Amino acid sequence: MAKIIPNLSVDCVIFGFDFNQLNVLLVERKLDDEKTGKSLIDDWTLTGYHIFEDENFDTAAARILKGLSGLDNIYLEQFYAFSRLDRVNSPNDKLWLDHQSEGFSERIFTVGYFSLIDNTTVSISHNDRNVKWFPITDLPELGFDHKEILEKALEKLRAKLRSEPIGFELLPEKFTVSQLQRLYEVILGTKFDRRNFRKKVLQMKYVIPLDEKQKGVKHKPAQLFIFSKEVYEKTKTERFDFSI
Amino acid sequence: MAKIIPNLSVDCVIFGFDFNQLNVLLVERKLDDEKTGKSLIDDWTLTGYHIFEDENFDTAAARILKGLSGLDNIYLEQFYAFSRLDRVNSPNDKLWLDHQSEGFSERIFTVGYFSLIDNTTVSISHNDRNVKWFPITDLPELGFDHKEILEKALEKLRAKLRSEPIGFELLPEKFTVSQLQRLYEVILGTKFDRRNFRKKVLQMKYVIPLDEKQKGVKHKPAQLFIFSKEVYEKTKTERFDFSI
DNA sequence: TTTGCAATGTGTAATTTTTACGCATTAGAT
DNA sequence: ATCTAATGCGTAAAAATTACACATTGCAAA
């Protein structure tokens, strides 16, 4: 087994979408006093771990994702490296690290990855800790500098969502136009006209209509679409925008 | 003096613009055999250095820039962290590291920053090594994984140039419309219609015309403009693009 | 069986933005 | 005085974006 690199970790900001909200996966950080049973720490953190000698950052992030989901074809993107001098330095953070089996005493740097998964079909579990999806509009107390990391991840996600078709990663393979619209609306915090949004999507050659309808809904079922990465790669053109 | 962190460095991709080409600053990596005098290594690298215990990545990058230019208000942006297992592993790279005063034996990770400076007014010098501007269209042999780092930097620079007004960082305070146009053309590798480009620039409230003309040119002197970050921040609006 | 509900699907006109394109002007150099 | 090289300006056509209303579908409830 390869050795851990003690001063470097990877943290994954795992985003999920449930057709309604953008969610982020957090793991519970719970520590009770051994004698009194009183709760010393009870908050949440991102999923992350140190990297091994035989890994690069990408493979470390993929390993973490695989451990949680069992999948290894999940969208992952490195977005920033964090190095604040006091990033793991609150009393709770120190207490927590002291109680971990590996005794980390060094300053720890971390490389942030964000991951996009479809909240409705991918199931996540953690070996020995409690994990839970939180809507990004309603987050609990976060440990370490994970609030900062999460905010940066969101910022980068929003920027990327505006310039590349990564939103589809958050939807099941087959999706409806209004699911896609809702996704854009909740992530970018905007509202679009339903007819104009549909018009825009229909003219994208890489969003392909299927001869198939939504099922199990109690209203008129919508047409299903798939995203074709191949068609996108073939037809994409760079655009001079320079507008924002 | 603070201690070095032996397995972490910052590499700066310093871009400059001379009204004609996009350039990158490189430092010469030269090593001769002590007996025979024969050249063992003669190539170029990015500017970079290890980070110190009392620094974060940003301050380390700023320190490097300050050392080269004397300035500390230069545009700097972290763009990616590099971790390939064999990133400093060629015979030349090993030989070079063996000859450095600090004997680095560990695997080294690096965080890439790109920097934008005005090639025509900022002057750069290195204490004890030869530095030189190279047009990005005509690069020499690069050491370590610096070719990969430079390519990633360019990719990120292009993406950012399309969505945010960072091009002005590469120009002197006062600039003409066609200098700006040339800048966009060489970085993005496109051509714009002169009249339409001007129209686009003139409608940007944050590009402010001066009552002043270019001097010392042997043709009709052009009007000068300045970029106002304040006006930009006040008037910017997010745009739904999603087109690329 | 009928009715109500909730969301889907469609078209057009007005406005704004983008594109294409040619000619007169200026200041230094010769 | 003339040449040169780049600036400065305007308009028409095309394309993209915006605003906006009503009929349809399928299930659920009455």
Taking an 8 Å cut-off on Cβ atoms, the answer to whether A163 and B242 are in contact is yes
Residue A243 is predicted with a pLDDT of 44
Residue B84 is predicted with a pLDDT of 97
How close B163 gets to chain A, by Cα (Å)? 5
Chain B CB contacts of A7 below 8 Å: 5, 7-8
| Cβ neighbours around B236 below 10 Å, total | 14
B197-204 contacts, C-beta under 8 A, 24 or more apart: B200/A242, B201/B177, B201/B225, B202/B177, B204/B165
Residue B171 is predicted with a pLDDT of 98
Nearest CA to B17 out of B160, B179, B163 is that of B179
More confidently predicted of A41 and B239: A41
Residue B81 is predicted with a pLDDT of 99
How close B47 gets to chain A, by Cα (Å)? 19
Residue B243 pLDDT exceeds 80: no
Residue of B nearest to A55 (CA): B85
Is residue B230 within a helix (H) or strand (E), and if so which, with residue range?
helix B229-235
3-state helix vs strand vs coil in chain A, percent to 5: 30, 30, 40
Contact A3/B at CB under 8 A: no
Residue A237 is predicted with a pLDDT of 64
Question: pLDDT tens digit string along B177-210?
Answer: 999 999 999 999 999 999 999 999 999 999 999 9
Distance CA A9, CA B119 (A): 37
Residue of B nearest to A234 (CA): B244
Q: CB burial class (10 A; 0-12, 13-18, 19+) of residue A235?
A: exposed
Taking an 8 Å cut-off on Cβ atoms, the answer to whether A83 and B236 are in contact is no
Find the DSSP H helices in B70-176. 91-99, 146-163
Residue A106 is predicted with a pLDDT of 83
Taking an 8 Å cut-off on Cβ atoms, the answer to whether B239 and A244 are in contact is yes
User: Does residue A20 reach within 7 angstroms of strand C, measured from its CB?
Assistant: no
Shortest-distance nucleotide from B220 CA to C1': C26
A83 vs B57, B85, B200: nearest CB: B57
Residue B19 pLDDT exceeds 50: yes
Using CB atoms and an 8 Å cut-off, which of residues 138-167 of chain B contact chain A? Answer: 159, 161-165
At B104, the amino acid letter reads F
Taking an 8 Å cut-off on Cβ atoms, the answer to whether B163 and A164 are in contact is no
Distance CA A171, CA A177 (A): 11
Residue B244 pLDDT exceeds 50: no
Residue A146 is predicted with a pLDDT of 98
More confidently predicted of A169 and B243: A169
Taking an 8 Å cut-off on Cβ atoms, the answer to whether A241 and B240 are in contact is no
The pLDDT confidence band at residue B241, using thresholds 50, 70 and 90, is very low
Chain B CB contacts of A152 below 8 Å: none
With a pLDDT cut of 70, the percent of chain A lying above it is: 96
Residue of B nearest to A204 (CA): B243
Q: Residue A192 phi/psi, 5° resolution?
A: -120, 150
Contact A206/B at CB under 8 A: no
In CATH, B173-235 is 3.40.50.1100: no
Residue B161 is predicted with a pLDDT of 93
Contact B81/A at CB under 8 A: yes
Residue B103 is predicted with a pLDDT of 67
The CATH code that applies to domain A4-163 is 3.90.79.10
**Through-space separation of residue B233 CA and nucleotide D7 C1' in angstroms:** 30
Residue B1 pLDDT exceeds 90: no
- Tell me what the mean pLDDT of segment B91-116 comes to: 89
Residue B148 pLDDT exceeds 80: yes
Structure-token pair, residue B155 = 């990719």
With a pLDDT cut of 90, the percent of chain B lying above it is: 86
Could you tell me if A29 and A192 are in contact, meaning their C-beta atoms sit under 8 angstroms apart? no
| Averaged confidence pLDDT in chain B | 93
Nearest 5°: CA angle at A93, between A82 and A116? 50
Contact A184/B at CB under 8 A: yes
Distance CA A144, CA A25 (A): 16
- The full set of domain ranges for chain A reads 4-163, 173-235
- Tell me what the mean pLDDT of segment B66-77 comes to: 96
Question: pLDDT tens digit string along A182-237?
Answer: 999 999 999 999 999 999 999 999 999 999 999 989 999 999 999 999 999 888 76
Residue A12 pLDDT exceeds 80: yes
Residue A6 is predicted with a pLDDT of 93
The pLDDT confidence band at residue A102, using thresholds 50, 70 and 90, is confident
* DSSP state for residue A2 in the 8-state scheme: P
The pLDDT confidence band at residue B239, using thresholds 50, 70 and 90, is low
Nearest CA to B59 out of A84, A89, A111 is that of A84
Distance CA A232, CA A30 (A): 45
Residue A238 pLDDT exceeds 70: no
How close B35 gets to chain A, by Cα (Å)? 37
Residue B9 pLDDT exceeds 60: yes
**CA distances in angstroms from A235 to A184, A229, B160, listed in the order given:** 22, 10, 22
Which residues lie near nucleic chain D, judged by CB under 7 A?
A 193-196, 199-200, 213, 217-221; B 176-178, 194-196, 198-199, 213, 218-223, 240, 243
Question: What's the number of CA atoms in the CB half-sphere (13 Å) around residue A219?
Answer: 2
Structure-token pair, residue A70 = 């069992």
Residue A244 pLDDT exceeds 60: no
Could you tell me if A212 and A174 are in contact, meaning their C-beta atoms sit under 8 angstroms apart? yes
Structure-token pair, residue A188 = 């970018």
- Tell me what the mean pLDDT of segment B203-223 comes to: 95
Residue A227 is predicted with a pLDDT of 96
Nearest CA to A60 out of A68, A72, A69, A52 is that of A52
Q: Residue B184 phi/psi, 5° resolution?
A: -65, -40
Q: Which residues have a Cβ under 8 Å from the Cβ of B207 and sit 6 or more positions away?
A: B201, B225, B226, B227, B228
CB pairs under 8 A between A and B: 94
Residue of B nearest to A110 (CA): B81
**Through-space separation of residue A216 CA and nucleotide C1 C1' in angstroms:** 23
Nearest CA to B64 out of B130, B2, B124 is that of B124
**Through-space separation of residue A223 CA and nucleotide C3 C1' in angstroms:** 26
Taking an 8 Å cut-off on Cβ atoms, the answer to whether A56 and B7 are in contact is no
Closest residue, by C-alpha, to the C1' of C18: B196
Closest residue, by C-alpha, to the C1' of D19: A193
Residue B89 is predicted with a pLDDT of 85
How close B244 gets to chain A, by Cα (Å)? 6
Residue A96 is predicted with a pLDDT of 93
